[in-house]
Homo-oligomer: A and B are copies of this chain.
Amino acid sequence: MTAGRRQTLNLYIQAKGEVRLSELEELLPDVSSMTLRRDLEQLERDGEIVRTRGGAKSIAHLSMIREAAYTQRVGENLDAKMSIAAKAVQFVTPGRSLYLDAGTTAMCLAQQIPDESLFILTSAPNIALELSKNRNVRVALTGGQLNRDTLSLSGGEAMAYMEGLNIDVAFLTASAFSLESGFTVGDRSEADLKRLIVRKARTRVLLLDGSKIDRGMPYTFARLSDAEILITDGPLPPSYLKAAKQAKTTVVQANAGDEEKGKEGTA
């Protein structure tokens, strides 16, 4: 009972990043604030959170903010990203070999990856670290130069690493997506790497939060028809839905707040 409540609290805090004690009191009205305080104390000992005046913050989230401070606000669309990740994690089954892209959406997914027998390749050092918390997941990084804006590795060496490696499912993110240009990013060598992944993976899952739809960036790495699955939040414009149907791409709608149930199974 105690352990379960602590886990609930931890999940909640990890998802929100920052909470006030008063929130937690509303969330769990059956226990006193003193109990919640003691739970937070424990979670702090476990290294999951730091307690602040009036509440607590997730350490993982703090590191994320710190790391992405140079690019954009992580908080933007975080709900959307969390719910997209919640849908994506349904495509993870034990024993598979996965690829995880860089980016905050992928980071949200990394946090939700179950501790099962998996092999996961990623090009993002921060995601590799997050994944390494799982005892049963073997984590590998593509080498290469680190792009300080996207926190992504790329370059010829990163690609060389991929030869002789099999990927069952690749979870890819894009900076922008439109019908004309397909999935695009702003960096040449990152696009090269993504193209290679698209070619090597057996199943391609594209993660795309709504703010990126109907926009374009310089380099295309995939077309809609390359994606078996497209997970997005909010409603897709009709023209896009039609195109997806033609391309035989399964579109999964993730609605913020779906994290818990999410059992409609669009797989």
Contact = CB atoms under 8 A, between A and B. Distances in A.
Contacts of A155: 140
Copies in the complex: 2
A128 interface: yes
Interface residues of A, number: 38
A57 interface: yes
Interface stretch (A146-154, A169-177, A247-255): A146-154
A interface: dominant SS: mixed
A66 B47 contact: yes
A125 interface: yes
Interface in A16-63: 47, 50-53, 57, 59-60, 62-63
Contact of A62 (B59, B132, B139): B59
Contact of A143 (B50, B66, B126, B144): B144
Interface stretch (A1-9, A91-99, A157-165, A217-225): A157-165
Interface of A: 47, 50-53, 57, 59-60, 62-63, 65-67, 69, 125-126, 128-129, 132-133, 135, 138-146, 148, 151, 153, 155, 157-158, 160-161
